[in-house]
């Protein structure tokens, strides 16, 4: 009788356990059924990037054609093919520094386009318990900003065209990373924002920077700016810039030549430049002025 009683007890316990597990499984299934299914929207780029010959030979041919040309020469040539001021950046995009002797502030290069967006985080007074907590936050946000992600595609002779999407105090370019850009062979930076550490950038003069006239962007990136994409079309200075377009900048500002027109425009502009040099040579000589070589 005792064994039979124990057996019945074990059976009851086992059945109860099975029912419990079964009900737990049903509850889990019920929870899963009630949980919303997550959807990630698929983005579509409506403006497609252009295809072009980006061989070293093609790049050298274009850069050689434009190396002495001025923004004014290029604009005259763009007029000649019916693209009057379509790609001339707003007049407030100006060189941060100018070199009147060697004209080393001039830029000619192919666009690597970068688009920044405002950060999705904000912080203010008493946001952090101590300095270390802020430094941890700062390091994490620098990683989220993908600060140097686009440098992997830079080739010598490229120009970074950076759309800051209206973020006024997110200093995406400063004294340190401007040197990083220069060491990568970047020919220049063009942005609709300002840059920070301007005294050092102007003093060192290792990379030409074109930005909003009289404007500096003094804040750090964390909590202000994120890098959204690179090598897609951007708008800077009211001009649509595709990756690979030719960018020319001097004391008059910045003009962009669509890559498909680069050779044609360059040849016309070179004719404009040569004719102007010939016309000015006698006057310069009479005034005792040596033209820039």
Q: Positive or negative CA dihedral for 197, 90, 99, 264?
A: positive
DSSP 8-72: HHHHHHHHHHHHHHHHHHHHHHHHHHHSPPP--PPP--SSPPP-----HHHHHHHHHHHTT--HH
Kindly list the structural domains of the chain, giving each domain's residue range(s) and its CATH number in brackets, ordered by start.
92-258 (3.50.30.40)
| Confidence (pLDDT) at 1 | 46
Residues 6 or more apart whose CB falls under 8 angstroms from that of 178 comprise 189, 195, 197, 201, 204, 206, 207, 209
Residue 118 CA to residue 67 CA, distance in Å, equals 36
Cα–Cα distances in angstroms (integers) from residue 281 to residues 103, 191, 293, in the given order: 19, 35, 12
DSSP 213-241: TT-B--S-STTTEEEEEESS-EEETTEEE
Nearest to residue 85, comparing CAs of 209, 257, 222?
A: 257
Nearest to residue 118, comparing CAs of 212, 192, 194, 226?
A: 226
Is residue 241 within 8 Å of 113, Cβ to Cβ? yes
What are the pLDDT digits (tens) for 36-61?
A: 889 999 989 899 999 999 999 999 99
pTM exceeds cut of 0.75: yes
| Confidence (pLDDT) at 156 | 92
Q: State in Å, rounded, how far the first CA of the chain is from the last one.
A: 115
What are the pLDDT digits (tens) for 13-42?
A: 455 554 555 555 565 566 666 788 899 999
**The two three-digit tokens of residue 240, written as one number:** 């649509």
Tell me: pLDDT of 291 over 50.
yes
Is residue 150 within 8 Å of 227, Cβ to Cβ? yes
Nearest to residue 264, comparing CAs of 131, 66, 39, 43?
A: 66
What are the pLDDT digits (tens) for 254-288?
A: 999 999 999 999 999 999 999 888 887 778 778 87
């Amino acid at each position: 009788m005792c064994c039979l009683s124990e057996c019945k007890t074990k059976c009851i316990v086992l059945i109860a356990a099975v029912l419990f597990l079964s009900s737990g499984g049903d509850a889990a299934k019920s929870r899963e059924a009630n949980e919303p299914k997550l959807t990630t929207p698929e983005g579509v780029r409506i403006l497609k990037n252009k295809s072009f010959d980006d061989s070293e030979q093609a790049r050298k041919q274009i850069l050689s054609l434009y190396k002495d040309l001025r923004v004014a020469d290029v604009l005259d040539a763009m007029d000649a093919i019916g693209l009057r001021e379509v790609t001339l950046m707003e007049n407030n995009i100006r060189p941060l520094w100018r070199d009147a002797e060697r004209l080393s502030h001039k830029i000619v290069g192919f666009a690597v386009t970068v688009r920044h967006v405002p950060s999705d985080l904000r912080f203010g007074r008493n946001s952090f318990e101590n300095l270390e907590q802020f430094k941890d936050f700062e390091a994490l946000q620098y990683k989220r900003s993908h600060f140097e992600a686009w440098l992997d595609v830079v080739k010598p002779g490229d120009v970074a065209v950076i759309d800051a999407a209206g973020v006024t105090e997110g200093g995406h370019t400063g004294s340190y990373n401007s040197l990083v850009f220069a060491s990568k062979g970047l020919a220049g930076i063009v942005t609709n924002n300002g840059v920070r550490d301007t005294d050092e950038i102007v003093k060192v003069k290792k990379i030409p920077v074109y930005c909003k006239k009289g404007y500096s962007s003094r804040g750090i990136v964390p909590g202000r700016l994120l890098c959204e994409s690179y090598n897609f079309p951007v708008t800077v200075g009211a001009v649509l810039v595709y990756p690979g377009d030719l960018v020319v900048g001097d004391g008059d500002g910045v003009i962009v030549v669509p890559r498909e027109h680069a050779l044609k425009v360059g040849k016309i502009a070179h004719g404009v430049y040569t004719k102007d040099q010939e016309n000015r040579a006698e006057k310069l000589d009479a005034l005792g002025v040596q033209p820039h070589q």
